[in-house]
Chain A
Amino acid sequence: MKNFVLGILNIFAWIFEFIFGLGTILSIIMGIIFLIPNIQATFLKQVPNLKNVTGTIFLVVFALIVSAVMCAALCWGIRAIRLVIRNINQDIYFDQSNLDLLHTTLISLSVFTVADFIEACLIGAAKYNLKGKPNLNLDFSNIVYSLIVLGIIYVIYLVFKNGLKLQEESNKII
């Protein structure tokens, strides 16, 4: 049962790692492409009701950079979680490597949460830039989920940290 569940989680982690890795590359490529004036002109033709054209182009490029950061952070975090799963599958529980990997996950999720907040502000600003939508409406619902996941990972990190201490104590008893 344990091997089955961990195997499934490992496969999902591989898939998500690949998707977010690809997302990072695509965001960077799209950001670079968007700097080409012809592409900008085509985009502006499709969105004619803009209050501020230069501001919108800046917003799109900045949003793509933030999107690349978000994808890279998730890819990095999921890789760390996948390695923790691999360690647990090999019956390595309270080990320094697991603690380091959980620390990496915490950092990557923190980066993702901050980037998510910036992205929400950018989306709000982009909507505000459209004519006929005068109110600045920011949606931070995703950040609440990110903070909850961050809290859960932090609790797991604390459990592993104290588990490692107990393991070291236990190792000194022959």
Chain B
Amino acid sequence: MIEVTLDYMLLKRKMTSKELAAEIGITPANLSILKTGKAKGIRFETLDKICQVLDCQPGDILKHTDSE
């Protein structure tokens, strides 16, 4: 499964979820859905904005694990 490791990057960049949500133009509720792994998918557009704001690569916020 794909795990979202956004919390780690936020800590690294000393940024709050609320600030990131405002920067990328999505609601904090949607960002929370993404962080908790409840989202079914992520748009390239959203991924692009997150990478731009956090100055990272998609691989830094997405991780593949074997567990279901």
Q: What is A's interface to B at a CB cutoff of 8 Å?
A: 169, 172-174
Contact = CB atoms under 8 A, between A and B. Distances in A.
Contacts of B14: none
What bracket does the count of chain B residues touching chain A fall in? 10 to 19
Residue in A169, A173, A174 whose Cβ sees the most chain B Cβ within 10 Å:
A174
Interface of B: 26, 30-31, 33-34, 38-43, 46
A169 B40 CA distance: 8
Given A169-B40, A172-B38, A174-B46, 13 more contacts: A172-B39, A172-B40, A173-B39, A173-B40, A173-B41, A173-B43, A174-B26, A174-B30, A174-B31, A174-B33, A174-B39, A174-B42, A174-B43
Contacts of A173: 39-43
21 contacts: A169-B40, A172-B33, A172-B38, A172-B39, A172-B40, A172-B41, A173-B39, A173-B40, A173-B41, A173-B42, A173-B43, A174-B26, A174-B30, A174-B31, A174-B33, A174-B34, A174-B39, A174-B41, A174-B42, A174-B43, A174-B46
A164 to B, nearest CB: 16
A172 B38 CA distance: 8
Contacts of A172: 33, 38-41
A31 B52 CA distance: 74
A172 B37 CA distance: 10
A62 B62 CA distance: 70
A174 B46 CA distance: 7
A95 B45 CA distance: 25
Contacts of B41: 172-174
